[in-house]
Chain A
Amino acid sequence: MITRYLTLSVKNLRRRLVRTGLTVAGVGLAVAVAVSLGGFVRGYQGAISKSIEMLGFQVMIMAKGCPYEAATMMLKGGTGLLYLPSDTYDKVKQDPDILSITPIFVGIAQKQASSIRDEGAEKTFTVINGIDVPSFVSMKPWLKFKGGAGYAGSKWFEQTSKSDIVLGYEIAEYEQRKVGDTFYATITPAGKPDPVRHEFKIVGVLERTGTQDDGTVFMAIDAARLAFNRPKQLTILGLKLKQFSAVTMREFENKWLKLPEVQVVSLQQVKTTLISLVGTAQTMIAAVAIIAVIVSLIGVINTILMSVYERTGEIGIMKALGARRGDIFQLVWLETLMICLMGSILGSIGAWVGSGIVEKAIKSITNLGVSGSIVQITPDIVGYAIVGSIALGFFAGLYPAWRAASMRPVDAIREGAA
């Protein structure tokens, strides 16, 4: 029985192919928007989570200021860096609760048309991380050197080296640099008016990590301090505790907040806060998606109502031939559901195919501070979109179906013949 109704509904939808197609396209567009936005929220939350986890630390100690600004700066780079006295490292590393600790000096250097991609372009900036290789690598065991032609012999620089650097994957790709090449950067030393042009030698290029490390230039911490003329300063202490929990974190925080110039930030806390901020944006995004879906549903209602009015005579005949209200209701309702189902499937496919474009568009508008994919269209998002649009189609179809089912056959046949 339902097969017969489906056949009737499909044949009727095919009667006005352009109108049906446009209505399906409207639903598809709305679903594509909803799926893309859902995928963005999911992907962005995942990217934040991954980026923070791949900092490799549980806790950061940094100069007083907004901890979230500091954390996002660690993720995306930026200016306005605050610095700690370098002896903070010596004090904190004595703490018996610490499993491992690494000092990091962050500076912003200026690239000056150092590659063919920058020719004629505005000045661009790059993040330089001065690191202590053994402790840094122990925090990030996933760091690997890139292999292949031009990358053979990659290695970390000596701690005493002044000019050797290691490039992250993306910056090496962008600058088209390989092992043994030269990398030019201009650094303005603290307290000095004139920038100094540096010529660094690339001794290694890292594999892709999907984090901010891909866009970072690494060099020995002392060399970085010297270049930026901050010999007694550092930016961050990244550390792992022997036992990490809310309680041990609180104890650790209380212990080191006694130092007047530092703040202790749990990356778990940062992650939770950033994700909750995204959650707030999610409400706005959901509102946009819902409006798009509602607009498309109004289109569906309009289309089905037009179709019902055009078929007034036919509906009258079907009722005369023995169709009950429920039969007519089902027929019209099925048409609505099919439009919504087709639209949601096409919209989901469109969103999946276009996710790369959406991602590029978002990234071209703003730096979200995370690396890796920020639009993740997962089966559950697609499932929610399809089920959601069918559920909305369920309601959208009620009124046209009720109108059709309520027609008196004698009136419908007369109107249809007129």
Chain B
Amino acid sequence: MNTIIEGRGLKRYYQRGVETVKALDGVDISISGGEMVSILGPSGSGKTTLINLLSCLDAPTEGTLTVAGKSVAGLSEDQLVEVRRGVLGFVFQQFHLLPTLTVTENVELPLTFLGRTPDPKRTKEVLAMVGLSDRAGHLPNELSGGQMQRVAIARALMIEPKILVADEPTGNLDKKAGEAIFQLFKRLAAKGLAIIITTHNQAFGYEADRVITLEDGKIVKEERPAKVPS
């Protein structure tokens, strides 16, 4: 499989007063297209920091990082945006849907920033993919948590990204909704999308192709769970 993210010796240090916080301390990671990778670890282990680096929301203090063939180490915020645009899709624990926009408008929002005109056919396809065809005209406050997360996934998919980054995507969902989201991720990965997920939920995490466990900013374990035949 083709490598879409390649990080070597990734470090992210923060200065808190006189103390240097080593949020990420020398991580080597490689992710391929079509691969679903879970990042596990306790709070403060560096999961979110790692995912922020891999999704170009932040830049590493040290190390080399290549995303979709572009080296991103040392890039400014404006340069990181250019790497993200059209390549990365995001899903967050809090959903972060715009409350004033309908499901369709939320899903089409990233296209506005990419200067693309929404194709209603494509919007319908994506909404059908996440099982929300009947909620297209609804506002976020008319949806359940699971439905809102699926809207967020549809929004991320709308731009046909190469990488989908999901930070605690099931954190605010019940078990059933969480399972549905992970099943959806597996289907998307099967179509060639690289998916990176952080989660506290071990059971969900082990649904992935690969599980990386972090502690104190370092990878302490990397596993490939045995696949249960479906």
Provide the A324-342 mask, 1 if CB < 8 A to any CB of B, else 0: 1101000000000000000
Interface size range on A against B: 20 to 34
Interface size on B, residues (CB 8 A): 29
Question: Which residue numbers of A lie inside 8 Å of B, CB to CB?
Answer: 1, 4-5, 7-8, 11-12, 14-15, 313-314, 316-325, 327, 408-410, 413, 416-417
B101 at the interface (CB under 8 A from A): yes
| B78 CB, min distance to chain A CBs, angstroms | 7
* CB-based nearest B residue for A313: B96
Contact with A along B95-121 (1 / 0, CB 8 A): 010111100010001101111000000
* Chain A residues within 8 Å of B115, by CB: 1
Q: How far is the CA of A42 from the CA of B19 in the complex (A)?
A: 67
Indicate if the CB atoms of A14 and B112 lie closer than 8 Å. no
Question: Is there contact, CB below 8 Å, between B90 and A321?
Answer: yes
Are A11 and B109 touching (Cβ within 8 A)?
A: no
Among listed B80-88, B178-186, B196-204, B219-227, interface-contacting one: B80-88
A327–B113 touching, CB < 8 Å:
yes
Residue pair A322, B110 in contact (C-beta under 8 Å):
yes
> Considering the chains assembled together, what is the distance between the CA atoms of A317 and B96 in angstroms?
7
11 contacts between A and B (CB under 8 A): A1-B112, A1-B115, A8-B101, A11-B101, A14-B100, A317-B96, A319-B81, A320-B84, A320-B88, A409-B77, A413-B57
Residue of A nearest to B49 (CB): A410
Flag if B84 contacts A322 (CB, 8 Å). yes
Inter-chain contact B113/A323, CB cutoff 8 Å: yes
Which residues of A are found within 8 Å of B206, using beta-carbon distances?
none
Confirm or deny: B94 has a beta carbon within 8 angstroms of a beta carbon on chain A: yes
User: Nearest A residue to B110 by beta-carbon distance?
Assistant: A321
Checking A7, A313, A410, A416 against B52 with a beta-carbon cut-off of 8 angstroms, the contacting residue is A410
In the assembled complex, B35 has its CB within 8 A of some CB on chain A: no
Residue with the greatest number of chain B CB neighbours at <10 A, chosen from A4, A14, A314, A327: A4
Query: What 9 pairs across the A-B complex have the smallest Cβ distances?
Result: A11-B100, A322-B85, A323-B113, A317-B96, A321-B110, A322-B113, A410-B57, A4-B112, A410-B58
Closest to A418 in B: B94
Are the C-beta atoms of A320 and B57 separated by less than 8 Å? yes
> Which chain B residues in 146-167 approach chain A with CB under 8 Å?
155, 159
Given that A11-B100, A322-B84 are known contacts, is A413 also in contact with B114, CB under 8 Å in the complex? no
Q: Which of B52, B77, B84, B112 touches A5 (beta carbons < 8 Å)? A: B112
Q: Provide the bound-state CA to CA distance between A332 and B105, in Å.
A: 18
Residues in B whose Cβ lies below 8 Å from that of A324: 78, 81, 113
